[in-house]
C-alpha cells in the first residue's frame, strides 16, 4: 500500500490528497463566505496542500485563502503559480514569462498570501516568447533571495522538463492527467524516477458512455462514488501523484477527501487501467 504522504522537494511533507482552490468564487460577498468555509473545512479534514494561482481572479483567489486561513496552521502548504498575465489593452490572459512580470507576481503573491516566503512556486506555463533560462533564472534568483522555497512547473513535456532540470531543481510538475486522459504518462514516469511531485490538474474527467459505465460498476462494487474511484486510482497509480481536486461545495469536498481511504482491488485497478488503452496498445502498469 502506498504512503498517503509525500515530501515535496525531498523535505516538505504533505498529505497526498490536496485541494485545488481554482473553483472558489470570490464574489459576491455571500459566495465569498461560502468559499472561505470550504477552504477552512478542507484544512479541518486534514488537507495540507492547497493549490492556487495569480491567474485565478488576478490574485483574488490568493487573497481569499489568506482571509480564510491566515494565520496558517503548521504544516499547511499553499502553492501558487505565476507566468500568466492579463493584457492591459485587451483584458485577455496570456503567457508572460518576462523576468519583470514573474518578479512582480511573486511579490504580489507574497503580499496577498501574507507570507515571507512561498514554499512552492510553480511556473504556470512556459512562455515560448521568453528564453527559458530567463524565466527559470528569475525564479532561481528569487529562491536565492529567500522569497521562494521550491520551484515547480506546469503543463510541460518530458523535453521541457529535462531542459528545466539543467537550470533549476524541479520540485513539482502540474500537468493535466486523470484516469481517462493519460497523455502525460511519460512525464509522470520521469517525475517518479526523480522523486518529483506530480500534481494532476483536472484529476477527474468522464469519457465515453462505456468508460463511464465501467467506472460506475467499480464504484458499485466498492460502495463509493465514481469520483472517489477516479481519485483512488490516481493515489494508487504512483507514489508521487498528489491529486488536487477542486470544488466550491463542502459535500463534494468531503466526498473527494474520503477517496484517500478507498483501496481498489488489483482486479478493479486492472479494469480501470484498460480504459486508457488505444487499439493495439497494452494498458500501462
Look over the chain and give the mean of its residue pLDDT values, rounded to a whole number.
94
Residue 131 lies in a domain: yes
Residue 60 lies in a domain: yes
Residue 16 lies in a domain: yes
Nearest to residue 86, comparing CAs of 115, 126, 114, 59? 59
Say if residue 278's pLDDT is above 80: no
Residue 231 lies in a domain: no
The whole-number pLDDT of residue 63 equals 98
Is position 177 annotated as part of the catalytic site?
no
The whole-number pLDDT of residue 277 equals 65
Say if residue 210's pLDDT is above 90: no
Q: Residue 98 burial by CB count (10 A; 0-12/13-18/19+): exposed, middle or buried?
A: middle
Residue 255 lies in a domain: no
- The three-state secondary structure class of 80 is strand
Contacts of 9 (CB under 8 A, 6+ apart): 120, 149, 150, 169, 171, 172, 197
Q: How many domains does the chain have?
A: 1
The whole-number pLDDT of residue 285 equals 31
- Read off the CATH number of the domain in which 156 is found: 3.20.20.100
Domain containing residue 147: 5-207+239-245
Distance CA 14, CA 183 (A): 26
Q: How confident is the model at residue 263 (pLDDT cuts 50, 70, 90)?
A: very high
Say if residue 209's pLDDT is above 90: no
**pLDDT tens digits, one per residue of 86-139:** 988 898 999 999 999 999 999 999 999 999 999 999 999 999 999 999 999 999
Residue 226 lies in a domain: no
> Of the residues 21, 32, 47, 56, which is catalytic?
56
**pLDDT tens digits, one per residue of 240-256:** 999 999 999 999 999 99
Residue 271 lies in a domain: no
Amino acid at each position: 500500500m502506498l504512503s498517503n504522504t509525500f515530501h515535496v522537494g525531498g523535505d516538505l511533507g504533505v498529505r497526498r490528497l490536496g485541494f485545488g482552490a481554482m473553483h472558489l468564487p470570490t464574489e459576491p460577498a455571500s459566495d465569498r463566505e461560502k468559499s472561505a468555509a470550504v477552504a477552512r473545512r478542507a484544512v479541518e479534514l486534514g488537507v495540507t496542500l492547497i493549490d492556487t494561482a495569480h491567474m485565478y481572479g488576478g490574485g483574488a483567489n490568493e487573497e481569499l485563502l489568506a482571509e480564510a486561513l491566515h494565520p496558517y496552521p503548521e504544516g499547511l502548504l499553499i502553492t501558487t503559480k505565476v507566468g500568466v498575465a492579463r493584457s492591459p489593452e485587451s483584458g485577455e490572459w496570456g503567457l508572460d514569462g518576462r523576468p519583470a512580470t514573474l518578479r512582480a507576481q511573486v511579490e504580489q503573491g507574497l503580499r496577498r498570501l501574507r507570507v515571507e516566503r512561498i514554499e512552492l512556486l510553480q511556473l504556470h506555463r512556459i512562455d515560448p516568447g521568453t528564453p527559458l533560462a530567463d524565466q527559470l533564472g528569475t525564479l532561481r534568483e528569487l529562491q536565492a533571495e529567500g522569497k521562494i522555497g521550491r520551484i515547480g512547473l506546469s503543463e510541460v513535456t518530458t523535453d521541457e522538463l529535462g531542459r528545466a532540470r539543467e537550470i533549476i531543481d524541479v520540485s513539482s510538475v502540474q500537468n493535466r492527467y486523470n484516469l481517462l486522459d493519460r497523455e502525460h504518462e511519460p512525464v509522470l514516469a520521469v517525475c517518479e524516477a526523480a522523486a518529483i511531485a506530480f500534481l494532476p490538474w483536472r484529476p477527474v474527467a468522464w469519457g465515453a458512455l462505456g468508460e463511464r459505465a465501467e467506472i460506475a460498476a467499480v464504484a458499485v462494487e466498492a460502495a463509493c462514488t465514481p469520483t472517489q474511484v477516479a481519485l483512488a486510482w490516481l493515489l494508487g497509480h504512483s507514489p508521487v501523484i498528489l491529486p488536487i481536486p477542486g470544488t466550491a461545495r463542502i459535500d463534494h469536498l468531503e466526498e473527494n477527501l474520503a477517496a484517500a481511504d478507498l483501496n481498489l482491488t488489483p482486479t478493479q485497478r486492472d479494469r480501470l487501467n484498460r480504459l486508457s488503452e488505444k487499439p493495439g496498445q497494452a494498458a500501462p502498469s
